[in-house]
């Protein structure tokens, strides 16, 4: 809308206009102050470090809308159009209201510049189209991840109204007070041409109605924003700015020495950033769309996890402010007595235990909400404060405590798999170029011992100088940490760091992505700073350098499954694919969900040691996805995935058609 409305005196009632602005701002501020005070009732968290990286993330993901467009192209483009349209039209709105205060007000490079006027009309039309597409999806195509809500439709209608009233008011102004730059407003000018035959009084009436409606809608939107899911319009840029800047695979290390309770059992035991996350949910459902727990029929739905916590926070807000409303640390502020407990009441235990910590939800969320740390925090509370966890985890924790592995195997048998291989042990040699971290699956599980042996065969064929820790190796602690047993994790991690520091090596190499992630990203909290690589990376290097030569290339169709701890957590996608490509005469075939969008095998987050009684088995769902591309081999580079797929192909009765192999086994079979 042109801001020159005042100069030709067609908009009456400026006093009413100022009064409306004052009321809208007061209502907005009232709610905003409440939300900020409630948020600050959370525990402290430092999100003011790494400012340049934070600013860059805002530029790329807020202004560039990169994550949205990359995640789901057409809906992403639709949202980006609305967002960019909002940015352009917000400048116009600032000038619109500024001129209401003083006619001299104007933003630089704005009024009547060709670029702005063209952009304004382009985006007005673009937003109208995007709104129509959004409504079509919600009402007609109904994708699973979207919920059709009255609020969602109301907001679409509100935005549509803003765009239409803007164009109609512009058309009226063009007829009543033409300006030389009007032709740049191509949509407004076209509408003006269509209305030009009307009597002037009618045009004036249309203009005034559109102008007032537009102003009222803007102010209504401002007031409605902080009460609705569209709060994200204002909050999301900040949430992206305050997003995590630590390695993706690093979970917070809890101070077990000074804590009075462990984990998070009440809403104010979350950090302020966790609480701010809850204000940001747009209800888009991207997190749920490929959540393996949800897709396989479990009660866990990451969208509703966030929305239920949000509702609980806002309902508890007034009473929280009564107890922790001084903006201080609300660590022990309890929910009002009439309310359900947060863990077990608002969020059921089985919701928390269903998570595989695959990180799909975090990666998919356009507003950078961090679901997984919240889930693990609540698991910590269940395990360490409440001693409440599924019965089958009791032996797992006991085995980790007594034998330093999750299986019921004596720690003294850890090196049995390597007895006849001539593998050096660190306690004998003291140093080696590579320390091969075998992991519990490679050490104790019959199927994965074959992978360990294949990997050793490859290292020996390439003449790599390596040694293992032997019986000194303990579980990395990863399953214990993901299952919420932070105490057990820290004990194991500290023990391993001490052992590793006794020996000289340049690099740790492991075939287990879980150990890889934990030693690489989480051990630095215990002063364990090591160079850690995954076996796919070393094998890729050995093949590329010619130290490993593949001679017996095969013709089988291979599809490769990305392990979450390798891919989404550590961005290792291409190395295992290159290793596999070196063994085959044919190209790899990709499942529809691959790389960043890979679907979990179901074994992460400690789920490998838990029953899967609810819904279907995640591994079956993934095997079905693999079956769609008709592979001869379902390849992976993770012992958890391999174990899950061994089960998956058997339960789908396709074990005779689809072989499940680690990349090391496939490479070893094709050696000269």
| Cα→Cα distances 611→89, 548, 584, 616, 640, Å | 53, 41, 37, 11, 15
Residue 61 is a binding residue for ligand SF4 (CB under 6 A): no
CB of 619 to ligand SF4, least distance (A): 13
CB of 186 to ligand SF4, least distance (A): 35
CB of 67 to ligand SF4, least distance (A): 10
CB of 305 to ligand SF4, least distance (A): 7
Determine the 3-state secondary structure of 589 from DSSP: strand
Residue 293 is a binding residue for ligand SF4 (CB under 6 A): yes
Residue (96 or 360) nearer to ligand SF4, CB: 360
Contacts of 660 (CB under 8 A, 6+ apart): 633, 634, 636, 642, 645, 646, 649
Pick the binder of ligand SF4 from 62, 267, 355, 423 (CB under 6 A): 355
Pick the binder of ligand SF4 from 291, 454, 601, 663 (CB under 6 A): 291
CB of 232 to ligand SF4, least distance (A): 7
CB atoms within 10 A of CB 43: 16
Please list every residue from 305 through 334 that binds ligand SF4, using CB under 6 A: 306
Per the DSSP assignment, residues forming a β-bridge with 662 are: 636
Applying CB under 6 A, the span of 279-287, 308-316, 492-500, 551-559 interacting with ligand SF4 comes to 279-287
Determine the 3-state secondary structure of 220 from DSSP: helix
Angle at 484 between CA 387 and CA 384, to 5 degrees: 30
Residue 352 is a binding residue for ligand SF4 (CB under 6 A): no
Applying CB under 6 A, the span of 113-121, 300-308, 321-329, 485-493 interacting with ligand SF4 comes to 300-308
Per the DSSP assignment, residues forming a β-bridge with 550 are: 671
Using CB under 6 A as the binding criterion, the count of chain residues that bind ligand SF4 stands at: 28
Applying CB under 6 A, the span of 112-120, 196-204, 286-294, 417-425 interacting with ligand SF4 comes to 286-294
CB atoms within 10 A of CB 48: 9
Q: Which x/- pattern over 364-403 shows residues binding ligand SF4 (rule: CB under 6 A)? A: xxxx-x-xx-------------------------------
Rounded distance between C-alpha atoms, residue 336 and residue 334, angstroms: 6
Burial class of 526 by CB neighbour count within 10 A (0 to 12, 13 to 18, 19+): middle
Pick the binder of ligand SF4 from 356, 517, 636, 670 (CB under 6 A): 356
Residue (212 or 389) nearer to ligand SF4, CB: 389
Rounded distance between C-alpha atoms, residue 343 and residue 353, angstroms: 12
Applying CB under 6 A, the span of 237-245, 265-273, 356-364, 492-500 interacting with ligand SF4 comes to 356-364
DSSP assignment of 453-497 equals HHHHHHHHHTT--EEE-GGG----SHHHHHTT-HHHHHHHHHHHH
Applying CB under 6 A, the span of 280-288, 572-580, 636-644, 655-663 interacting with ligand SF4 comes to 280-288
Residue 282 is a binding residue for ligand SF4 (CB under 6 A): yes
User: Of all helices (H) and strands (E), which one includes residue 507?
Assistant: strand 507-510
Pick the binder of ligand SF4 from 283, 486, 522, 540 (CB under 6 A): 283
Residue 5 is a binding residue for ligand SF4 (CB under 6 A): no
Determine the 3-state secondary structure of 559 from DSSP: strand
Per the DSSP assignment, residues forming a β-bridge with 12 are: none
CB of 151 to ligand SF4, least distance (A): 14
Rounded distance between C-alpha atoms, residue 496 and residue 565, angstroms: 20
Binding-site ranges for ligand SF4 (CB under 6 A): 281-287, 291-293, 300, 302-303, 306, 355-361, 364-367, 369, 371-372
């Amino acid at each position: 809308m042109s801001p020159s409305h005042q100069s030709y005196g067609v908009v009456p009632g400026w006093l009413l206009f100022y009064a409306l602005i004052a009321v809208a701002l007061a209502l907005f501020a009232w709610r905003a102050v409440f939300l900020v005070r409630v948020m600050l009732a959370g525990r402290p968290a430092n999100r003011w470090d790494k400012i340049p990286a934070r600013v860059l993330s805002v530029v790329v993901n807020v202004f560039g809308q990169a994550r949205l467009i990359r995640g789901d192209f057409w809906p992403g483009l639709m949202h980006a159009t609305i967002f960019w349209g909002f940015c352009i039209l917000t400048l116009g709105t600032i000038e619109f209201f500024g001129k209401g205060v003083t006619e001299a007000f104007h933003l630089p490079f704005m009024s009547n510049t060709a670029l702005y006027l063209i952009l304004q009309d382009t985006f007005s039309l673009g937003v109208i189209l995007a709104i129509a597409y959004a409504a079509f999806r919600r009402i007609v195509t109904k994708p699973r991840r979207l919920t059709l809500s009255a609020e969602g439709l109301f907001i679409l209608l509100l935005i549509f109204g803003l765009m239409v009233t803007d164009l109609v008011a512009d058309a009226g102004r063009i007829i009543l007070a033409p300006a030389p730059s009007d032709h740049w407003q191509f949509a407004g000018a076209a509408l003006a041409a269509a209305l030009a035959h009307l009597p002037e009084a009618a045009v004036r009436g249309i203009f005034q109605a559109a102008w007032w409606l537009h102003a009222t809608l803007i102010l209504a939107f401002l007031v409605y924003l902080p009460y609705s899911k569209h709060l994200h319009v204002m909050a999301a840029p900040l949430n992206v700015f305050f997003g995590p800047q630590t390695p993706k695979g690093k979970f917070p290390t809890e101070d077990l020495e000074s804590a009075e309770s462990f984990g998070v059992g009440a809403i104010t035991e979350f950090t302020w950033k966790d609480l701010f996350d809850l204000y940001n949910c747009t209800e888009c459902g991207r997190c749920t769309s490929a959540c393996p727990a949800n897709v396989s029929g479990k009660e866990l739905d990451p969208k509703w996890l966030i929305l239920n916590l949000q509702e609980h926070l806002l309902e508890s807000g007034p009473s929280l402010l009564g107890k922790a409303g001084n903006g201080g640390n609300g660590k022990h502020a309890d929910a009002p007595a009439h309310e359900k407990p947060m863990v077990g009441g608002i969020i059921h235990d089985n919701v928390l235990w269903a998570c595989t910590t695959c990180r799909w939800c975090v990666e998919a969320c356009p507003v950078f909400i961090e679901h997984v740390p919240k889930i693990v925090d609540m698991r910590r509370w269940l395990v360490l404060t409440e001693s409440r966890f599924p019965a089958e985890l009791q032996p797992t924790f006991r085995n980790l405590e007594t034998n330093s592995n999750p299986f019921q195997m004596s720690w003294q048998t850890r090196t049995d798999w390597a007895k006849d291989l001539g593998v050096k042990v660190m306690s004998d040699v003291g140093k080696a170029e590579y320390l091969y971290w075998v992991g519990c699956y490679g050490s104790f599980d019959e199927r994965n011992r074959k992978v360990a042996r294949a990997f050793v065969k490859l290292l020996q064929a390439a003449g790599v100088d390596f040694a293992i820790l032997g019986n000194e190796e303990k579980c990395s602690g990863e399953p214990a940490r993901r299952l919420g047993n932070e105490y057990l994790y820290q004990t194991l991690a500290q023990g391993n760091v001490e052992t590793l520091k006794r020996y000289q090596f340049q690099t740790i190499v492991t075939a287990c992505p879980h150990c890889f992630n934990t030693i690489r990203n989480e051990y630095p909290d215990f002063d364990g700073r090591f160079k850690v690589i995954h076996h796919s990376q070393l094998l890729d290097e050995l093949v590329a350098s010619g130290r490993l030569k593949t001679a017996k290339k095969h013709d089988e169709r291979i599809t490769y499954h990305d392990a979450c701890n390798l891919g989404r957590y550590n961005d290792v996608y291409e190395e295992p694919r290159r290793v596999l490509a070196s063994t085959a005469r044919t190209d790899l075939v990709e499942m529809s969900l691959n790389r960043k969008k890979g679907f979990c095998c179901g074994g992460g987050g400690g789920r490998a040691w838990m029953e899967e009684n609810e819904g279907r088995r995640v591994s079956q769902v993934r095997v079905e996805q693999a079956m769609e591309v008709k592979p001869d081999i379902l390849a992976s580079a993770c012992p958890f995935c391999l174990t899950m797929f061994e089960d998956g192909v058997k339960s789908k009765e396709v074990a005779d058609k689809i072989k499940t192999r680690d990349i090391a086994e496939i490479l070893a079979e094709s050696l000269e």
